[in-house]
Structure 1
Amino acid sequence: MYYFDHCASTPPHEDVIRTMAEVMAKHYANPGSLHRSGMEAAKLLDRARGVIAGLFGTDKPEWIFTSGGTESNNMAIIGAARKYKSRGNHLITTAIEHPSVYDTFGALERDGFRVTYLPVDSRGILSLNDLEAALTKETILVSVMHVNNETGSIQPIAEIGALLRKQDRIIFHVDGVQSIGKLPIGLSGSGIDLFSASAHKINGPRGLGLLYVRQGIQLDPIYSGGGQEQRLRPGTENLAAIVASAKAFRMAVESQPDRYEKMHGLRSRLLRCLEQIPELVLNGTGQREAAAPHIVNFSYPGMKPEVIIHMLEKHRVLASTKSACSSKDDKPSRVLEAMGLGRARAASGIRISFGDEHGDLELEWLCRVLPMVVQKLKPLEKRGTRE
C-alpha cells in the first residue's frame, strides 16, 4: 500500500518506537513519587521538556504536555477566554479552522461570548485588513491555524503576530499541528502567546500533544485533580510518550529544511499530473509560498468522495477526504465551502498528504493511478452517481 494520509497520522519513527519501549520498561515509576525511581522519572520528564524548549528558543516552564492537538487547542482557547473575560467577551477565529478549534468557539458562543469568524479567499487565506477591521475594545483572543489541515493554505502568522503585538490586551493562539516539521517556526518574539502541536503528525506516538504558554500568560484550568503540568493538565504524566515525542519533535524540527524542499518537489510534480486530468480540479493554490509542501487537495466535482477513496484504495493508494475528525460524515467540506468553491467541489474534495517515505517511486505510482481511477469512474456519471 502507498500511504498518502500523513495529515491524519504518521507512522512512528523506528527510533521513537525504540525509545518509548525502553522508557516503558525501565522508567515505570510515577514522576511525582519521592523515591529514587520516581526522581529518575522526574529527571527524564524535565529533560524532555528542555529538549522541546530548546528547539523553539523558549523556556521549559512555557511548555505543557497534553494528550494531543485537540486537547491543546481546547485548553488554550477555553482557558484564555475564561481567564480574560473581565477584559471583554469578543473572540476572533477563521471559518476554516480544525473542528477542535471551530467547535470550541461554537461552545463559547453558547456560553455568551461573541465570536467573529473571519472569511478567507479562494486560496484559503485570510485578509489582514479583515482581521484589523474586526478588532474591537472587547477583543480578548485571536486564534488562527498556521497550516490548514485540508488544503495546506498558510496563514500570515508573522504578520498577524506583529499586528496583535500592538494590542497588549489580545491573546494570540496558533494551531501549529500541521506546520511543525514542515515550515520554520519561531515563537520567541513572534507575538504568539499560545501554540498547539501534536506528536503523531511528525512520526511520534499518538496521545501526546504540546501547548506553549508564553511566560506571563495565564489560563483558567479546564480540569481539576492534581498539580501536574502547572495545574493545567492534572494526571500522571505519560513519561514514555513524552520522552519519545521529544525525540520525534527534535528530529522533525532539525530536518525541516530538507523536508520542505523534498516535499515541495513532490507537490509540484503532483500538481503537474493534475493539470493533465481535466476532471480533477485543484483546491487551494499552487503557489509555493502560500501552501504547505506536504498537502494537495483536489476535487472531482459531483463525484462522491467515498467512491474516489475506495477506488484509489483498490489501486493501493490510501488517501482521505476532510480532516480525520470529520471524514466519516457526509457533509460537504466546511473549509472548501468557506473558500467559495461551491458545493460540488466542497462535496468531493480529496486530500493527498506526503510523508518522509515518499519519493520518485511513490509519486510515479500515484500519477499513474489517478487518470486510471478517473477513467473507471466516468461511466458512473451516466448512472446518476454524480450529484
Structure 2
Amino acid sequence: MTNFELKRVVVTGLGAITPIGNTVSDYWESLLAGRSGIGPITLFDASRHDCRIAGEVKGFDPVDYMDRKESKRMDRFAQFAVAASKQAVKDANLVIDGSNAAQIGVTIGTGIGGLKVLEDQQEINLTRGPDRCSPFMIPMMIANMAAGLTAIQLGAKGPNSCAVTACAAGSNAIGDAFRLVQRGYASAMICGGTEAAVTSLSVAGFAACKALSLSRNDDPLHASRPFDRDRDGFVLGEGVGVLVLEELEFALGRGAKIYAEIVGYGLTCDAYHMTSPVPGGEGAARAIELCLKDAGLTPDRVTYINAHGTSTGANDPTETAAIKHALGNNAYQVAVSSTKSMTGHLLGGSGGIEAVATVKAIADSQIPPTINLDNPDPECDLDYVPHRSRAQAVDVALSNSFGFGGHNVTLAFKKYVE
C-alpha cells in the first residue's frame, strides 16, 4: 500500500509541432477539417526508396524558439521538444524561477532519438575519417537529450527522464509525469513525445520490415487509412506534442486555466513478439482495463478514444478487439478515431500529439475524424467517426499507444469539475 496522498492532476498547457500545423491551434483546426499532412518526402532524396512519402513538419525554424548557435547543437527531435515545451509553458502562463524550479520537471519520450545526426556523422566517419566527427555527435544523438535540453532551456530542475518505448514513448512519458505529480514528487511536469525520424535509413528500415505503406506514393493524401480494408501500412511522420501537468492546488493557486484532468494510466506488455501485437489484443485490453481501474471509471463513462490506429494490417483489428474486450457492449457506444490518418505515425512523438488532441476534444467538445475510411474492414466494426469531425460533449476520453516490443499504454483524461 502506498503512503502517498494522491493529488489531483490537471492539464494547463499544450504545445505541438506537427505535419498539419506548428501550433496547437493550427494542428487542431487541421484535425477538425480532416486535412492530411502526408506528401512526398523532401528532407532527403527518396527516389531510390520503395516508400517516398511521409508526414513532414513544414516551415519549422528553431531560431523562433532558441539561439541559432544552440539550435545547431541539437538534432531536429530535440529542437522540436524545446520548441513545443516553450509553447506549452507559455500557454500555461507558467513562470519557472528560483521559487519553484526544483518542483518542476520534464519527461519527454522518443522512440529513436537523433538518427539524422548518427547517419550524417557515420558518413563523415567513412568518407573523411574518424577525427572529423563532431564533438557534439553523442550529445546530439542520445535519446534523453530532448528532456535534458528542455530542462536547460526552461530552468526546470525537478524530476527529469526519457521514456524510450518505441511508439508508446510519448504516452509513457505523460503517464510517468502524471505519477510524479500525483504522488507529490513534483508540482508540475512538462511532458510528451518527440520524433524526427524521416531519414533515409529510417524509411529503408521500416520498409524492409514491411511496416510502411508502399502502394500510394502517387496518392499520399489517401495513404494513411486506419481501419480501412485497403490499408497497406503506416505512413511515417515527425513532430512533437507536449502537455503541462500540474497538481490541482498548485494550478489553482496561481490562477491557471485548466483544459482537463488526467486521471488514469495503464501500461502492460504483450511479451509476445518483437513487432507484432498478440492476436486478440489481450495486452492492449489489459492496459485499457488497468487505466480505467486506476481512474476509478467504468466503461460506460468513456465518450471518446483516440486510437493508436496505425493503418497496418496487424494493429487495427487487434486494437478493435482490445477495445471491445475492455469495454464490452459499451465499445459500440464510444466514438473512436485515429488522427494518424492525417498526421501519419510519429513513432515516439505520436503519444504526445494524440494526447493534445484528446485533451482538446474534451475542452472543445469536438471529436476529430478518421479520414480515408472509405471501405471499412469487416473486423473493424466500431464507430470510427469517418471523414468528418463531430460536435459532441466529451466527458471521459482515452488515448491508446502501442509500441514494438509489446509496449501498451492507455491514458485517461476527463472534464475538469471542481
TM-score of the superposed pair, with normalisation by structure 2: 0.26
- The structure that is helix-richer by fraction is 1
Greater C-alpha Rg: 1
